Each structure stands twice: as C-alpha cells, then as structure tokens.
Amino acid sequence: MSTPVLTQFLNELLNGRLKMVDLTQTLSPEFPTIVLPPEFGQAWPFRIEEISRYDERGPAWYWNNFSMSEHTGTHFDAPAHWISGKDLPDNTVDSMPVENFIAAACVIDVSKEAAENADFLLTIDYVKAWEEKHGRIPERSWVLLRTDWSKRATPKEYLNMAEDGAHSPGPDAEVVPWLIRERNVHGFGTESVGTDAGQAHHLNPPYPCHYFMHGNNRYGLQCLTNLDQLPPQGALIFAAPLKIRNGSGSPLRVLALTPSA
Amino acid sequence: MTEPLLKPRKKNPVERTRLATRPPGARSRTALGLTRAAAEGRFELQVCADCGSVQYPPREVCGYCLSEHLAWKPVDNRGELIALSTLRHSNDLYFRERLPWRVGTVKMTAGPVVVAHIHEDCAAPEGTGVPVRLTLKLDRSGQAVLHALPAKDTPNMNDAAQMRESTCDPKFRRVLVTDGKSAMGLATARAMLDAGAATIFLGDPSSWKTVAAFDKLAADPRVQVVELDVTDTDSVDRVAASIGGKVEILVNTASHLRDGGILGRKDVILARDAMEVNVLGLMRLAQAFGPGMCFRAADGSNHAVAWVNVLSIHALAALPSRGAWSASMAAALSASQTLRAELRGAGVRVLNVFPGPIEEDWEQLTPPPKLAPAAVAKAIVKGLQDGIEDLYVGDIAEEIRERLRDNHKAVERELGQ
Ligand SMILES: [Zn+2]
C-alpha cells in the first residue's frame, strides 16, 4: 500500500511541487575544522591528494585519496561522541536505527540576533515565542538553528576566534533538556562548527547541547548551510552518516525535502 | 673597491631566462675534506701528524715525509698574493658567462702555495706580495674552492660578483618564510628584512588565528602575506602558482613539535601530524617550488639561490622524550639530503639548520640554555651570507655534534636517560 505514496512523492518531486535543498558544505581543505587547545589531539581537516588524472599515474582515470576526521565538514554527531552517551544502546553511526536517518525539521531563525550578538544563546522563552508563530515543535523533529553563520566568507569570520576563544551562537543550558523532555526532539543542528555555542565551555554543564542531546541518545548536525531555504516547519531531513564501525560521527550529505514556495 | 650592488631592475619579459651553468664539479674523495670544511664554514687543510707540514692540494700521503697520517685541521688562513691573472677567455660554459675572472697564486703563511679565485678588492702584487685571507667556499657545483679576500674587510665586499656566486646573500632577494606565525618564522622574516631582502612572502597557516606580532610585521610594505598550510597540497600548489616564480630563498619554518615517546601513547596521531608538517610538508614545498627555483637559478643578480630547512640537532640523535618528533626530524633531514642532490644540478643550495632548544611555547619545560629565535634567525642569515650547507646553532647543538663524532653510542645512551 505504500507504493502509491512513494509514486506520489516522486511525482511531486519531478513536477517541482517538492524541491530538494542541499544543506551540505563542500569538503575542501580550506573549510575550517573545530580547533581545540593545541595540547589536545586535533580533528584532521579535509585533505586531498590526486592519485591520477588522465596522466602518467593513470592514463584513463581520475581519482583522489582524502583524509579527515569523523567531525570534519558538514557532519553528524552520534550519541557515543560525548561521555554522557557512551553507554547508551545503538549509540554509534553503524548501530543506530536506519529509520532515524529521516526526520522532520523545525528551523528557528535567529540570524538577526546572531548578527548583532555572536554569543547569542537560544532560550526556552525564545522557542516558546517561535511556537506561538509557527506552531508547536512536533515530536521526533530536528531543531535546526538558522544563524546565517554559513554565509561568513572566511575561516577567520566563521570560527570568530578572540583571545578568550571562539564566539558563535548556540543553545543555552536550559533549552536543551527542555527540548528533549517537553518536545522529545530528534536532535539539534547548527550552521557553525559545533552544535554548542563558541563560548559553551563556560555554561553549566559545559557544552550542554552535546551533554544532554547525546546523553539522551539524540543526534547532532553541524556545519549546515542553506537553512535560509527551508520553511520554519514542514521540511524533511535525510541525513545518513557513513557506516563506520563504532564511529562517533561522520561527514555526510544532508538533504532536505521541502514544499516549493 | 667593489661597487655596491644595486637593486636589480625589473626583468625584460621578452628576453630568454638564462639557465644555470655550473663550474667543473668532479673531485677526488680525499679532496671532499675541503668540501666538508666549506659546507660547515671552517678553513681546514690536511696537517701531517708526523712532520707537522700543511698539505695542499689534498693528498693520500704527506708531500714531505710520506706519512699516511694526514688529519683535517683548522689552519692559519693568511697568505700573500704573489701572482694575479685575469681570465678573459674560457672554453668552460660557466666561466665564459662570468668573464673577466681573477685567479692568482697565494703563498700561505702555513706553508703551501695555492691557486685561488681572487676578490676584486685585492690589490695586484707589484714586486712584493699582497697580504690576503683565504677562505673556503662552496661553488655553484657544491664543491669547495679557495677564495682570496683582502686582508681587511672592504665596503660592499660581499657584493662582488665572484662572492655572490658562492654565497646566498638575502640582499635584494625575495624570501618565502613558510610559517610566518611561529616565533621562529617571525624572527626569520625580521632578520631577512634587516639583511636587505627585497620582499618577504610571509606564510600564514592559520588565518583564523590573530597573532599581534604577525599583523605588525605584515604592515611592512616589503611583506606580503600568503595563506600557506604545508599539510594542504592545494594550498602549497596555489601559493607556488602565485609567487613560485619570485621566490629566491625559501626558508621552511613550518614545524610541529610535541612531547612524548612511542610506548606512552595508544595512537600514532601526533606522530602522523609531525610527519605531515615536518616531512611531507617539506616534500610538498619541494615539489611545488623546487622546479621554479631551479629554472631561475641564473636569472639576474638576484637569481634563486637557496633553500633553508630549520630542523633540530635531534635530527641527528633522537631525544626519546620526544620520540615521534625526533623520528620526523630524522626523516626531514634525509629528505633534505635528497633535495640537496636534486637542487645541486641547478646550483641552488640547501642549508640545513640544526639548532638546540629554542625559546618557544613547546619548549616551555626544557631547561635553559635555550636559543632566542632572533639569534637562530641571525645565524641563518650569516649562514646564507657565508654560503654554507650545515649550520649548528648554540652550545647544545655544537656539543651533541662533537660528541656524535667522538662516541655516538654515548650520546644515544645519555639522551635516553
Ligand atoms: Zn709529514
């Protein structure tokens, strides 16, 4: 009985009433990777080397080797990424249920606030006010924070480092458990380099989005782009991480399906 | 007196770029003793252990008593120029392009009579000999040759064409400092400017990070910032495509230094990071910049001339408390020796720098003495001006090098304690 639904879906896609939006940043060596204090191990940035390009190394074919960490570029955070999620069932990218690769999305636009204050924190009150306008966040929905951070032109502006560390928006320590408890969300996604704010190490607990989301077997998406092309409600997200054994996360292609405006 | 070198005019773009030629390079194995001394900036000849006579040219047995006990030792470099001639014709491609060329005969205070290249500021002998100082330099083939210099320094003497041939003076040259944000990179850039470099291309491996000293240096009109991360092949290629034809001296200051041995970790990530920067970074730079530098190795008075690797004395002897890093230093030294062989064909010199510990963030817990980055940078400039190949900076580096010759096993045991 599901075949007519899929047929209808494909028709809607082909006739343009549905469109696909790519929420993925291009993987390139220049794209910034999260920076930890230098005494810690660092996530590898994206690096690429040509194996051959129709040349003496391989006359008829072009291919590359690349290297990067699980948390480079647009990527997925599995619960095992954080200590709070380390003992949960199915908490790695290879073991998580495949149904969870598809979920609805609510897009909360804080781009105006973020432009005025790089340290802007999303609060419960802000989300409640958003719900007044756009409706209650449905269960099992991604909450995506639109900050327009993906439009920042240079790594310097994107990471926004000062002497006291990075400055970028994120959720505060109260809204994350509230979203899980009261709205049973699927996960949290951002345009910046992490799901938490740049200064989130000063919050209590530090990195609340990582701590609570992963501690409750929820997911994270970061380094997203094109969130400005999604409606506040009504988009569907397809986000399937690579099947890395015991992987804590993975770079991936994040696609949104959304009604054409 | 030598005319001061003028800032070279802009090149005529429709003239063919002159390709590098080299002076005759073959030497006997014994004569390579001179090369070793010249490469490290010393003046040494063989001295007979039995009769004490100083030998020249290098030989297997003493020219006076036939003893086989000849040792390379520092000797008095003074002498008298007794005959001078100016070559105006030569069938050798290298010298043909550099005529007239002064050669002469010097009677050394230490005994031997030698044939040497004669600096243009040395007066011609008329009846009596003219006092001169001899120096051993590497020529463009990388082999040692004797140069006679005036007894006392003269103004602009390093600007003489003959001197420019066997040295790598930064004056009027354009220098790429690959990591300009490190303490060593900043100091190197400043020292090159002080030495008269025309342009510094200052590499920035982390544009997201603000470093006040870097920004200050970048404000100098002679400094041009280039985003360069030696771990990123695209980045290296992009910079080479943009400035590769202008780099006359490349100083690789990119460095990854972390503490830790081998057994104490569960992964090779730090080791791999060190190799990425210290070894593969060097190779990426070589592949991207080496061919262009070779092509420009005879291009005017400010032709491409030198490649500098800032290594560590621990390239020669591992420091087990930094085992992975030491391995990367040894690998970088090995790669640089290949690079030296590959660049020698064009006469581009590779200067390897072996400092002891330097005063910088990652050496915080290293007990003194530590070298100021400015002191190392100054030594690099002098090394280029002297045209040497191997530079040991500081007491610790000198001591380790001496002791490696004496008993390398003792060094190995002691560094491992
Ligand atoms: Zn003898």
- Of A171-175, B14-18, B74-78, the poorest mean pLDDT is in B14-18
Question: pLDDT tier at B42 (50, 70, 90 boundaries)?
Answer: very high
CATH 3.40.50.720 residue ranges in chain B? Answer: 174-415
Residue B16's pLDDT is 84
CB-proximal residues (5 Å) to ion ligand 1:
B 48, 50-51, 62, 64-65, 67
B254-to-A124, A213, B186, B188 alpha-carbon distances in Å: 47, 39, 11, 12
Selected residues 167-226 of chain B with any CB under 8 Å from a CB in chain A: 207-210
Q: How confident is the model at residue A35 (pLDDT cuts 50, 70, 90)?
A: confident
The pLDDT score that the predictor gives to residue A209 is 97
Q: Considering only CA atoms, which of B320, B322, B319, B297 is closest in space to residue B307?
A: B297
Pick from B216, B217, B213: nearest CA to B201:
B217
pLDDT for the residue A180: 98
DSSP for A150-201, please give it: GG--SHHHHH-EETTEE---EE-TTHHHHHHHHH--SEEEESSSSSS-TTGG
- At position A100, the amino acid (one-letter code) is N
% of chain A residues with pLDDT over 90: 94
Q: Structure tokens of B272? A: 């791999």
Angle between helical axes of B281-295 and B233-243 (0-180°, round to 10): 20
Whether the per-residue pLDDT at A2 is higher than 70: the answer is no
Distance from CA of A108 to the nearest CA of B (A): 28
| pLDDT tens digits, one per residue of B199-248 | 999 999 999 999 999 999 999 999 999 999 999 999 999 999 999 999 99
Distance B54 CA to ligand 1 centre (A): 8
Report cis status (omega within 30 of 0) of the bond before B57: yes
Phi, psi of B356 (to 5 degrees): -80, -165
Angle between helices B323-344 and B281-295 (to 10 degrees): 20
Subunit contact B207:A29, Cβ cutoff 8 A: no
In percent, the amount of chain B with pLDDT more than 70 equals: 100
Please indicate whether residue A134 is annotated as part of the active site. Answer: no
Per residue in B160-203, pLDDT (tens digit) is 988 988 899 999 999 999 999 999 999 999 999 999 999 999 99
Cis peptide before B125 (omega within 30 of 0): no
Assigned CATH for B174-415: 3.40.50.720
Nearest CA distance, B343 vs chain A (angstrom): 23
Q: Report the mean per-residue pLDDT for chain B.
A: 94
Sketch out chain A's domains with CATH numbers: 4-259 (3.50.30.50)
Give the model confidence (pLDDT) of A126-142 as tens digits.
Answer: 999 999 999 999 999 99
Q: Say how far apart CA A101 and CA B389 lie, in whole Å.
A: 59
Please report, for chain B, how many H helices and E strands are present, in that order. 11, 15
| Whether pLDDT at A1 is above 60 | no
Confidence band for A202, pLDDT divided at 50, 70 and 90: very high
**pLDDT tens-digit readout, B2-11:** 888 888 888 8
Contacts of A110 (CB under 8 A, 6+ apart): A120, A122, A126, A145, A146, A147, A169
Give the residue with greater pLDDT, B95 vs A255: A255
B13 — pLDDT class (breaks 50, 70, 90): confident
Q: What is the percent of chain A where pLDDT is above 70?
A: 99
Q: DSSP letter string over B84-150? A: EEEE---SSHHHHTT-SEEEEEEEETTS-EEEEEE-TTSPPPBSB-EEEEEEEEE-TTS-EEEEEEE
For chain A, helix, strand, coil in percent to 5 are 25, 30, 45
pLDDT band at A149 (very low <50, low <70, confident <90, very high): very high
Helix (H) or strand (E) holding A103: strand A102-109
